[in-house]
A and B are shown apart, each in its own frame.
Chain A
């Protein structure tokens, strides 16, 4: 079986139990590793596997990206020293009191205040990267939010203090963090990457 198999594995959840179907792992024969004298030193162990992963309480965050929304959370426990702190990255529970946090839609706040805190540009990637190189990471701060979201810039060149706008992969979502990207403030919709909208 090839890992290009059309019957590649998919998973559904029924009655809160995983129901996998299709092919999830693909083996191929190992091969010897020889030195220049033809002496055996080892073997290769090729394999292709698929992990099944729950987003748990963060699922709503990743699902909302596909709908053009950026969600954050806020601690609403009046007894907590971090009462009313807003977190982005989204945290399911307040890191101080561990009470379940309130989900907020900060899309409009992001559109008004997103600013580059730091950034980096690299041509290097690891295996399985799907972003175009050079990759431009941006660390994005928002007014009134106590943490700083990491993402990637799809257009232009980053600079500390630069104003940004969030864009969302609403047309062909991957349901990963790659479904949100950033562009310089003032970018017209016509210039957005394929599948992305404001």
Chain B
């Protein structure tokens, strides 16, 4: 049983509030044989500038430091790719640094930009993320990704990262899913939902109109993970501009408050030791006293069934922003649905549902834009962009894309950014005849989770309309 000190569990207190001013993203696809990475990053920065009625040239004049999220140097075969990108964006001689935390790279990039603005070092910072995963054959790509596991203890075992993840899925499937067909269908519903929402997103790589049966009949990757349970491998870029209050309101009339917190856990799942569950504000110790009785085998925390890093990122972020109950206090979320089952695990880690009850978030209809059970708006819609399963997972860009998507709902500009015929045409994609506006009406607050590997790094980003921040946050 390991423990943590009060100093380690201290709620972060920033020196000043930080705002998300704007953001943008490129098209996402499996491959871009006709584009260099810098072209995609410039697409993202241009979209961010145009979103607030500026040119990239005008927006760049405000940027004081730059943070670049780019996980896998070996995919691009370019060390110091950040320096090349910084030059191509014309941002020399400003200070810049590269961020690498696996699948959480996008979120971590925002975390670093957030801290530099909060500290006063910069009044305006660029957070840009990208990934180039198309320049090696797929099996060599799988080999490269497997080096994000321990290269001596895990990578030689098949050189297949999905397998290192699947042992966790297997344990959750058996302990909390009880190997029930109904649970298998609930997992499949997530894949159907996210791929369906991706159909409304011109940036999305993997839109599909499919059924639960299509998912269940898709090829086995590593049971219980089937092909349609798994996220995409993508190329693309996304960026956000963060600023202090004065600069933010110079740039736009409607910046959003942003707060970011981070957690971590062991690189190898093997090294996880037992501990007490760190409680979120809407939980009590007593509610978990009989967890092992209700779910035999579930008494080991975090074991293979929870993500401590996600729990800790929410632990800090909720206390920084005054969130007591995410389902009540937030209007939408973007979660790291690398796999359908890890999406369910995350519902529990961030307190949308108690441990063991994640499936009910889907089964209740709460996670949908429109609750399929009632026809009413979903209580807390999730992954309306399509998520990693339907939209993309261009690793360094993913966590930033999620935050921009949440922001577009709070800005009440989701339809504008997703319905534009010109954008669909420019991306070479056909807008569906049944295109639907997924704007969450009246959205004021949202959350995005950015998650690495089997849970080594996770960030939790909270966006709030500055006129609707919660009591109990750092500056309220």
Contact = CB atoms under 8 A, between A and B. Distances in A.
For the residues of B in contact with A, the DSSP-based class is mixed
B270 A126 contact: no
A86 to B, nearest CB: 11
A3 to B, nearest CB: 15
A195 to B, nearest CB: 16
Contact of A33 (B33, B160, B167): B33
A122 interface: yes
B270 A147 contact: yes
A60 to B, nearest CB: 13
A170 interface: no
Interface stretch (A6-14, A19-27, A113-121): A113-121
A122 B140 contact: no
Given A118-B304, A137-B163, A176-B152, A147 B223 contact: no
Contacts of A177: 152-154, 156-157
Given A33-B33, A146-B274, A122 B304 contact: no
B138 to A, nearest CB: 9
Given A122-B166, A126-B145, A150 B158 contact: no
B159 A127 contact: yes
For the residues of A in contact with B, the DSSP-based class is loop
Interface residues of B, number: 48
Contacts of A176: 152, 156
A42 B157 contact: no
A123 to B, nearest CB: 8
B139 A126 contact: yes
A96 B33 contact: no
Given A45-B77, A146-B274, A121 B157 contact: no
Contacts, number: 140
A173 interface: no
A155 interface: no
Interface stretch (B168-176, B247-255, B256-264, B372-380): B168-176
A177 B268 CA distance: 14
A141 to B, nearest CB: 10
A2 B274 CA distance: 50
Contacts of B162: 122, 124
Contacts of A50: none
Interface in A35-85: 35, 41-42, 45, 53, 55, 58, 62, 81-82, 85
A150 B33 contact: no
Contacts of A137: 157-158, 163-164, 166-167
Nearest to A90: B153
Interface in A126-141: 126-131, 135, 137, 139
Contacts of B143: 126-129
4 shortest A-B CB distances, which residue pairs? Answer: A126-B159, A126-B142, A126-B143, A120-B166
Interface of B: 2-3, 33-34, 77, 137, 139-146, 150-154, 156-164, 166-171, 174, 220-223, 268-274, 297, 304
